[in-house]
Amino acid sequence: MANNVCVAGQLLLLDLIDKVESYCELIQSNTDGLFLKVRDMNMVEKVKSVAKEWEQRTRLELEWKIYNKIYQKDVNNYIIIDSEGNCKSKGVYVKKLSNIDYDLPIVNRALIEYFVHNKPIEDAINECDDLREFQKIVKVSNKYMYAMYGNKKLKEKVLRVFASKDENACGVYKVKVDERIEKIANTPEKCFIYNDSVIGVKVPDYLDKQYYIDLANKRLKEFIESKATKGIAKSTPSDIKFINQEIKDELIEFSKKDHKTFVDLLVDLIENSSANSRQIEIFIKLNYFKKYGKNKKLLDIFNEFIKGKNKYTKNLSDKTKKQRLEKLYEYEKSVEDMVIPISEQIAYDIEYMGKPVTTYDVLKGTGYILNLNIAGVVEAEVYGLSNGNIVKIKIFKNDYVKCPFKKGDIVQFISMKCKPRRRFVGKDNNGKPIYEIDKTKKEWWSDDFRIIKY
Judgement on whether residues 207 and 254 belong to the same structural domain of the protein = no
Instruction: Examine the fold and report which residue of 340, 368, 385 is the final residue of a domain before the chain moves on.
Output: 340
Judgement on whether residues 129 and 195 belong to the same structural domain of the protein = yes
Judgement on whether residues 300 and 364 belong to the same structural domain of the protein = no
Judgement on whether residues 335 and 403 belong to the same structural domain of the protein = no
Which pLDDT value is given to residue 266? 96
CATH number at residue 389: 2.40.50
Judgement on whether residues 296 and 258 belong to the same structural domain of the protein = yes
Residue 433 identity: P
Residue 402 lies in a domain: yes
Residue 72 lies in a domain: no
Residue 231 lies in a domain: no
Instruction: Examine the fold and report which residue of 340, 368, 388 is the final residue of a domain before the chain moves on.
Output: 340
Residue 84 lies in a domain: no
Residue 156 lies in a domain: yes
* Domain extent at residue 124: 105-223
pLDDT of the chain, 454 residues: tens digit per residue: 555 556 677 788 888 888 888 788 888 887 778 888 887 777 888 888 888 999 899 888 898 888 888 888 777 788 888 777 788 888 777 877 887 888 999 999 999 888 887 788 999 999 999 999 999 999 998 889 999 999 899 999 999 999 999 989 999 999 987 678 889 989 999 999 999 999 999 999 999 999 999 999 988 887 776 643 443 334 467 899 878 788 899 999 999 999 999 999 999 998 888 787 888 999 999 999 999 999 999 999 999 999 899 999 887 888 999 999 999 999 999 999 999 999 999 999 999 999 999 999 999 999 999 999 998 889 999 999 999 999 999 999 999 999 999 999 999 999 999 988 877 778 888 878 777 877 778 899 999 999 998 7
pTM: predicted TM-score of the whole model, two decimal places: 0.50
Which pLDDT value is given to residue 305? 96
Residue 60 lies in a domain: yes
Residue 425 lies in a domain: yes
DSSP secondary structure of 14-57: HHHHHHHTTTSEEEEEETTEEEEE-SSTHHHHHHHHHHHHHHHH
Judgement on whether residues 204 and 109 belong to the same structural domain of the protein = yes
Total of domains in the chain: 4
Which pLDDT value is given to residue 227? 47
Instruction: Examine the fold and report which residue of 297, 313, 340 is the final residue of a domain before the chain moves on.
Output: 340
DSSP secondary-structure letter at 164? Answer: B
Judgement on whether residues 216 and 271 belong to the same structural domain of the protein = no
Distance CA 109, CA 99 (A): 15
Judgement on whether residues 323 and 380 belong to the same structural domain of the protein = no
Judgement on whether residues 189 and 216 belong to the same structural domain of the protein = yes
Do the beta carbons of residue 282 and residue 243 sit within 8 Å?
yes
Distance CA 44, CA 219 (A): 33
Judgement on whether residues 315 and 376 belong to the same structural domain of the protein = no
39 vs 20, 24, 27, 36, 85, CA distance in Å?
A: 13, 7, 13, 10, 21
How far separated are the first and last CA of the chain, in Å rounded? 59
Residue 83 lies in a domain: no
Judgement on whether residues 255 and 219 belong to the same structural domain of the protein = no
Judgement on whether residues 406 and 315 belong to the same structural domain of the protein = no
